[in-house]
């Protein structure tokens, strides 16, 4: 049993993380939730009990076995190294350390083997090396679902070029953005307007083609993450990836429209097979029955909704006429679960499973 | 002055068409609105007067100079030839005749010269040939805004490959779909659900990766239209085009995320110049100021909204790393205006302008 810290426990991802830890029976003996300024002292529910949020302060990680970080890049930059030095395994969902060459960026179904190296450092390295090795990171939400679909296709057909346009829900911008969508939409439907506080423009009944800040090359930080993190996870450092990240007025689940060129000949049938055989991926692709991945559905709908589910759902799989050998397809995944909280817990589970005997 | 019929006058596009005819001072002496079953007898407002909707019936087009069709493919298939035989110029916004090889598919800024051939047939052909020549068509809404951006880029750099993912508003599915989005979203925000009547799945706070019916190749009819119509308008019959059409929970304006490979070297600066010099296109591309095309904005927002405006707005223009020479960009246009009603009136204006002397 383990003492588990959660930084950002009251946030959109943090809340789901507590739920995932509980439902997957992660061996938690004590929960230590951390929160920022105004949420310190708030209680979160876990395993039938209330746990009070503590502030981040010197020594706050002492005695913890695990610390999950679901907060800002700045918070992770400041506090992740302290948690690792205090002896905890850290699973960081921020972008702070993801691209550091000696920090693993993990989607356990795809590259969980990298944890063996971390264990070796933890067992055999200096105190400093061991602390560094205990820092594990999970990718950006829009990256996770993309690479989950790309990896099996790459093994079978060889990736050459990836073009992706995203349809990202506001929960990717945090709980306050969800509230902004809800209140602003309620107002908009009545002909009123409340100015945006969280997102850069009105999101009610609108799409915003910007997620993150702009880089000099005209891409946003989100689009850069999709490219750079996919390359790192797939171990294809020069893979050609072009991403356009768009915020859409949905609450939960990200959609992705993907076009891929392959090195070798592809068939839809074989693509469905290799996707279906990838643990964590579910193929939902019966267009004649209007069945394809959706974020949410109504009662009685024949489609399983992505929201609240674990898999990365893939459908609309078809030969892409832009290429001699290529596919177009559509991906839906719950950005708070496989895109963040679930993937983080899976990383921790993989560390436990891979512990050297 | 002309007697002008409008088929589908009470529909989403029809209402905007009446507004565009009036504001652009199209020379209308008499308006004859047509409607389907339950809307017959309803009045529409035009030029300060009320005009009663008539049914489609034998002889209903007699004496009309123009008939605009903004109804279903089936209605156009049945009634467009009758309007043309009755002596009217027809501007058909349905898909019924668009891909007929001898019917012009028009975006006047791009291929208005095709109208000269129609005039020649009207003046010199047999009665039957003249009637056929008076049938003019406008493209699908998602095609119009795409080709408006592609055409100037093609002239400068040479199109090789186009990959587009759309973010299409529900007004493209008609006024009833707008009502469904509004009522279903109102319910959803209160935790309730009303089953879809118009769209194939829940649209409230959701994206549906299907517009139109499915073809055998896995593409939808909407995606096929984008490919086939773009090829016809650009006169590039074998252009490689891959489209994914997605319905998003917005009311008005379609967004498009586009990735293009070119034959010749491209630069962002030159791309901005050629796009800005294309009549009907506006470049809105100042990422540092968070300025890029949006469908709707709130009061005080620095961005001009697409909804209710005439231009095709292009922004987020950047070199696309998927290609040796390519661009990625984002397009917004009002699907009811340039995507349908405005384009139709521009076609009629071009016919008047190009009348042989």
**Phi/psi class of residue B308: alpha, beta or left (left: φ > 0; alpha: ψ in -120 to 50)?**
left
Spatial separation of the C-alpha atoms in residues A115 and A305, rounded to whole Å: 32
3-state helix vs strand vs coil in chain A, percent to 5: 35, 25, 40
The residue written with tokens 């979203």 in the block is: B185
Q: Which of A53, A141, A154, A253 is catalytic?
A: A141
Instruction: Band the pLDDT of B190: cuts 50, 70, 90.
Output: very high
- Name the residue with higher pLDDT: A91 or B302: A91
The residue among A317, A281, A224, A320 whose CA lies nearest residue A110 is A281
The residue written with tokens 């129609």 in the block is: B118
Instruction: Band the pLDDT of B353: cuts 50, 70, 90.
Output: very high
B87 pLDDT above the threshold of 90 = yes
Query: Quick one: angle between helices B268-276 and B141-157, nearest 10?
Result: 120
The answer to whether the Cβ–Cβ distance between B318 and A249 falls below 8 Å is: no
Read off the pLDDT of residues A103-114 as tens digits, 9 standing for 90 and up: 999 999 999 999
Contact B276, B283 (CB under 8 A): yes
User: Interface pTM (ipTM) of the complex?
Assistant: 0.97
Contact B226, B243 (CB under 8 A): yes
Q: Which residues fall within 8 angstroms of residue B98, CB to CB, at 6 or more apart?
A: B92, B105, B137, B139, B140, B225, B229, B232
CB pairs under 8 A between A and B: 197
The residue written with tokens 């992706």 in the block is: A164
Task: Say how far residue B82 (Cα) sits from the centre of its chain.
Answer: 23
Residue B291: what pLDDT? 97
Which residue, among A179, A201, A250, would best test binding to B if mutated, counting the most B CBs under 10 Å from its CB?
A201
Contact A253, A333 (CB under 8 A): yes
Residue B37: what pLDDT? 83
Mean pLDDT to the nearest integer, B59-77: 97
Phi, psi (degrees; rounded to nearest 5) at A50? -100, 135
Please, what is the average pLDDT of chain B?
97
Spatial separation of the C-alpha atoms in residues B253 and B82, rounded to whole Å: 32
A40 pLDDT above the threshold of 90 = yes
A318 pLDDT above the threshold of 90 = yes
Instruction: Report the percentage of chain A scoring pLDDT > 70.
Output: 100
Phi, psi (degrees; rounded to nearest 5) at B140? -55, 145
Contact A208, B168 (CB under 8 A): no
Structure tokens at A251: 């609450």
Read off the pLDDT of residues B289-308 as tens digits, 9 standing for 90 and up: 999 999 999 888 989 999 99
The residue among A344, A328, A248 whose CA lies nearest residue A296 is A248
Which residue, among A196, A218, A247, A272, would best test binding to B if mutated, counting the most B CBs under 10 Å from its CB?
A218
Contact B337, B311 (CB under 8 A): no
Q: How far is CA A206 from CA A184, A197, B249, B261, in A?
A: 11, 15, 8, 28
The answer to whether the Cβ–Cβ distance between B201 and A301 falls below 8 Å is: yes
DSSP B164-227: EEEEB-GGGG-HHHHHHHHHHHHHHHTT-----SSSSS--TT--BS--SPBPTTS-BHHHHHHH
Number of other CB atoms surrounding residue A340 within 10 Å: 27
- What's the gap in Å between the CA of B100 and the closest CA on chain A? 22
B201 pLDDT above the threshold of 90 = yes
Q: Which residues fall within 8 angstroms of residue B150, CB to CB, at 6 or more apart?
A: B159, B162, B230, B234, B260
Mean pLDDT to the nearest integer, A269-276: 98
Structure tokens at A106: 């993990």
Number of other CB atoms surrounding residue A195 within 10 Å: 12
Contact A334, A306 (CB under 8 A): yes
Is B254 catalytic? The answer is: yes
| Residues in A touching B299 (Cβ below 8 Å) | 193, 195
Q: How far is CA B291 from CA A214, A328, B303, in A?
A: 11, 30, 6
Contact A311, A333 (CB under 8 A): yes
Instruction: Band the pLDDT of A36: cuts 50, 70, 90.
Output: confident
The residue among A149, A172, A148 whose CA lies nearest residue A335 is A172
Q: Does B217 touch chain A (CB under 8 A)?
A: yes
Burial class (CB within 10 angstroms; exposed 0-12, middle 13-18, buried 19+) of B198 = middle
- Lateral strand order in the sheet of A89-92: A28-34, A2-7, A66-69, A89-92, A135-137
Q: Does B151 touch chain A (CB under 8 A)?
A: no
Minimum CA–CA partner of A302 in chain B: B201
Read off the pLDDT of residues B238-293 as tens digits, 9 standing for 90 and up: 999 999 999 999 999 999 999 999 999 999 999 999 999 999 999 999 999 999 99
Is A253 catalytic? The answer is: no
The answer to whether the Cβ–Cβ distance between B182 and A200 falls below 8 Å is: no
In chain B, positions 255-294, which contact chain A (CB-CB < 8 Å)? 255, 257, 259, 268, 287-288, 290, 292-294
Residue B235: what pLDDT? 98
Residue A38: what pLDDT? 86
Q: Which of B141, B154, B207, B253 is catalytic?
A: B141
| Residues in B touching A321 (Cβ below 8 Å) | 227, 240-242
- What's the gap in Å between the CA of B306 and the closest CA on chain A? 11
Q: Does A221 touch chain B (CB under 8 A)?
A: no
Residue A37: what pLDDT? 83
Nearest to B189 among A186, A210, A321 (CB): A186
């Amino acid at each position: 049993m383990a003492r588990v810290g959660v930084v950002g426990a009251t946030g959109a991802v943090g809340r789901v993380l507590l739920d995932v830890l509980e439902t997957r029976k992660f061996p938690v003996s004590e929960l230590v939730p951390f929160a920022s300024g105004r949420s310190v002292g708030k209680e979160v529910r876990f395993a039938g009990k209330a746990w009070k949020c503590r502030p981040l302060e010197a020594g706050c990680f002492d005695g913890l076995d695990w610390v999950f970080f679901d907060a800002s890049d700045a918070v992770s930059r400041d506090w992740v190294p302290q948690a690792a030095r205090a002896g905890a395994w850290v699973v960081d969902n921020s972008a702070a350390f993801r691209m550091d060459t000696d920090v693993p960026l993990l989607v356990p179904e795809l590259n969980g083997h990298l944890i063996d190296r971390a264990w070796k450092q933890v067992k055999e390295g200096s105190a400093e090396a061991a602390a560094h090795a205990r820092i594990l990171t999970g990718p950006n939400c829009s990256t996770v679902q993309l690479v989950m679909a790309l990896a099996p296709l790459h093994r079978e057909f060889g990736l050459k070029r990836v073009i992706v346009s995203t349809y990202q829900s506001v929960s990717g911008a945090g709980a306050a953005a969800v509230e902004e969508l809800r209140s602003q939409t309620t107002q908009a439907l009545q002909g009123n307007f409340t100015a945006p506080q969280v997102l850069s423009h009105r999101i009610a009944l609108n799409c915003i083609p910007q997620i993150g800040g702009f880089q000099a090359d005209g891409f946003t930080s989100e689009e850069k993450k999709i490219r750079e993190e996919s390359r790192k996870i797939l171990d294809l450092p020069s893979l050609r990836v072009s991403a356009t990240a768009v915020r859409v007025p949905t609450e939960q689940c990200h959609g992705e429209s993907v076009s891929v060129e392959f090195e070798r000949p592809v068939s839809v049938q074989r693509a469905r097979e290799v996707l279906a055989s990838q643990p964590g991926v579910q193929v939902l692709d019966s267009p004649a029955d209007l069945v394809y991945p959706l974020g949410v559905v109504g009662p009685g709908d024949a489609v399983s909704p992505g929201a609240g589910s674990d898999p990365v759902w893939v459908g609309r799989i078809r030969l892409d006429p832009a290429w001699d050998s290529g596919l177009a397809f559509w991906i839906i995944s719950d950005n708070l679960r496989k895109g963040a909280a679930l993937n983080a817990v899976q990383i921790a589970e993989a560390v436990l499973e891979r512990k050297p005997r």
